[in-house]
Structure 1
Amino acid sequence: MPTNKRESLIFTVAMCFCMVLWMSIYNVARMYGHVGLDVLVDAWVGFPPAYVFAMLCDWFIANPLAKGFAFRHLVTPGKSSPRAMALAVSCCMVVPMVVIMSLYGAFEVAIHAGGLVAVPMMWLQNIPWNLVMALPWNLIVAGPVVRYLFRRAFPEGTVLAQPVETAELA
């Protein structure tokens, strides 16, 4: 788990990358009805705006909601194990992100298809499909892999909360 805002931002960038890329591939494959090179290409082309949108929603909406709920109702910092806290926050992050990104996906499809009338129904239909994929992917693959790589790249205490003032060379 990240220990300060800088670590949290780095972790969020990596986690969001893994989740948005996988969920983009999954949703495009669902829409096309198969997995192939065309699915990967279309998922990759739609990835950048979805990633930026997801990062903003994660950082400003889902993260505060998830941590607030998890730390108020599920775990207690200092008393609960780090693994329990990571699982609680991860589970709580998936729900608002699925709701938000399912709406994003419904709008994206509707804009390309030219029919915004279908957005509410597409959104409601996509939520359970995305939840069934996002929760296990987050808990079994993306979360553990990103946490492992994050701590290998940034051992505990190596990402400073405040920048170190560097002395000017004379």
Structure 2
Amino acid sequence: MPTNKRESLIFTVIMCFCMVLWMSCYNVARVNDWELGLPTLADAWLGFPPAYVVAMLLDVLLASRFAKWFAFRFLVTPGKSGRLAIALAISTMMVFPMVLFMSLYGALEAFTHAGDPAMILPTWIANIPWNFIAALPWNLLVAGPVSRWVFRRAFPEGTVLAEPASA
């Protein structure tokens, strides 16, 4: 778990990369009738950079604030709940706003290719359950643990300072 704002931003970069890459591959495969192969991976990779930027902005500006507020208000208590419980509560609550926002992003992206504005709302609504059933288990079982492992291997506890050292 990150212990300050700098660690939190670094962790967010890693976690967002894992989630957006997986969800990009998942959604491109889903749109292509679950056909897996190089064309699907190429399409997912090409759509990854703008989706990553949007996801990072949504994460930092909206989703993480909501997730922490909800988790600490209703699910866990700092000082009483264990680190794992806190991590799972926040990770779970991150999925809800991110799925809503990124499903809308996907519907808007589909509109730019198809050009029918009447399809934005139905596409968005249809994408939400599909994305939720893929994002929640991936977040809790793969991306979260892998991101925490990578983060702590790259930045052992206490190595990322809260404030830069003054010269």
Q: Taking structure 2 as the reference length, what is the TM-score of the superposition?
A: 0.98
Q: Per-residue CA shift, 1:126-152, capped at 9, x if unaligned?
A: 000000000000000000001011111
Q: How does 1:132-143 map to 2 (within 5 A)?
A: 132-143=133-144
State the one-letter code of the partner of 2:19. M
Counterpart for residue 94 of structure 2: 93
**Partners of 1:13 and 1:81 in 2: how far apart?**
24
Following superposition, the deviation at residue 61 of structure 1 comes to 0.4
Where do residues 1-170 of structure 1 align in structure 2 (5 Å cutoff)?
Answer: 1-33=1-33, 34-166=35-167
Instruction: Write the deviation string for residues 68-124 of structure 1: whole angstroms up to 9, x where unpaired.
Output: 000010001111000000000000000100000000000001111111110100000
What's the C-alpha RMSD, in Å, of the aligned pairs?
Answer: 0.5
Listed as ranges, the gaps of 5+ residues in structure 2 are: none
Question: What's the % identity of the aligned pairs?
Answer: 66
Q: Which piece of structure 1 moves more, 150-159 or 53-62?
A: 150-159
Counterparts of 2:60 and 2:165, CA distance in 1: 25
SS state of the match for residue 133, structure 1? helix
Q: Deviations over 1:41-79 (max 9, x none)?
A: 000001000000000000000000000000010001111
The Cα of 1:29 is off from its aligned counterpart by: 0.3
Structure 1 unaligned segments of length 5 or more: list them.
Answer: none
Paired amino acid for 1:39: T
Q: What is the TM-score when the length of structure 1 is the normalising length?
A: 0.97
Matched residue type, 1:68:
W
Cα separation, 1, equivalents of 2:81 and 2:26: 34
Quick one: distance in 1 between partners of 2:153 and 2:92? Answer: 23
- Counterpart residue identity of residue 59, structure 1: V
Q: What SS does the corresponding residue of 1:42 show, helix, strand or coil?
A: helix
CA distance in 1, matches of 2:141, 2:58: 23
Q: Name the larger-Rg structure.
A: 1
Inter-partner Cα distance in structure 2 for 1:97 and 1:35: 25
Q: Which amino acid aligns with 1:134?
A: A
- Helix, strand or coil: the match of 1:148? helix
Which stretches of structure 1, 4 residues or longer, exceed 6 Å deviation after superposition? none
Q: Deviations over 1:13-57 (max 9, x none)?
A: 000000000000000000011111101000000100000000000
* Distance in 2 of aligned mates of 1:132 and 1:100: 15
Aligned mates of 1:106, 1:35 — CA distance in 2: 21
